[in-house]
A and B are shown apart, each in its own frame.
Chain A
Amino acid sequence: MTAPLIVFFVLAALAVIGAVSLILQKHPIHSALSLIVVMIALAGLYLLLGAEFVAAVQIIVYGGAIMVLFVFVIMLLNAGIEEHTSVSKMAGPPGLLLVVALAGLIAATIVRSTDSIQSTLQTGEMSSSLGVSKTLGISNMIFKDFVYPFELTSFLILVAVLGATVLAQREKG
């Protein structure tokens, strides 16, 4: 077993354990902390895949900004232990079965389609071999090929900020 494979399995186990813990924890703050474990493990996997910029953005935006927002809201609303009715408890086992089937279906479909194009995949070597940094390539793509979507995201964020402000403000009178 090579070193990258060992690192992959450690990080993958960490991500899956974090995701299972998110489901098993009763208190939302514990679920939030489990989700942070998943995010950090995924950032490690991105590093393993050679996507340094995405790994950094993952930690800063997901692990930092978004999860802090979640923890803030949990504190603000004083969220307690979640309560299950008997019906929603009963829905667990068959739901788990269906979800296993769903994940298996997704994985089987994609794996089969990647196998059929595996021959073309092998030829595609990462552009970093040309001595060009990948982050440079990403910025070139964002500001050249994807410049209109990029500008649109600024509008999206503007709308989101306005929406969040309007939604969360107290009603007057």
Chain B
Amino acid sequence: MVPTNYYVILSAILFGLGVFAFVFKRNIITIFMSIELMLNAVNLAFVAFSQALGKLDGQVFVLFVIVVAAAEAAVGLGIIILIARNRQTLNVERVDLLKL
């Protein structure tokens, strides 16, 4: 039996790596992928606690998170296609229309 704490620590590590990728990467698609990584890290914590508490609520939440992630991916990638078409770049530093 693996202790729940191990899963929680792994989840925190993956979330941290996701945050780092989110702020460090410059390609808008990779930034979007790091959001998915963070969602996955949270899902792991949900399932770990669901198992530790002996209740299925956590697993049901994970299913909802996956549904929301799928919807978010569809809309987000649509926005990325729009940005790429209008600005001819995927680098977030070149998408600075709101910058003074």
- Number of A-B residue pairs at CB separation under 8 A: 228
Question: What interface size band does chain A fall in?
Answer: 35 or more
Are A121's CB and B53's CB within 8 A? yes
Cα distance, A163 to B47, chains bound together (Å):
31
Are B47's CB and A54's CB within 8 A? yes
Measured CB to CB, the closest approach of chain A to B25, in angstroms, equals: 7
Are A74's CB and B29's CB within 8 A? yes
Residues of B within 8 A of A (CB): 1-2, 4-10, 12-21, 23-27, 29-30, 32-34, 36-37, 40, 43-45, 47-48, 50-57, 59-60, 62-64, 66-75, 77-82, 84, 90-91, 93
Residues of A within 8 A of B (CB): 2, 4-5, 8, 12, 15-16, 19-20, 22-23, 28, 31-32, 35, 38-39, 42, 45-46, 48-51, 53-54, 57-58, 61-62, 65-66, 69-70, 73-74, 76-77, 79, 82-85, 88, 91-92, 95-96, 99-100, 102-104, 106-107, 110-111, 114-115, 121, 124-127, 134, 137-138, 141-142, 145-146, 149, 153, 156-157, 159-161, 163-168
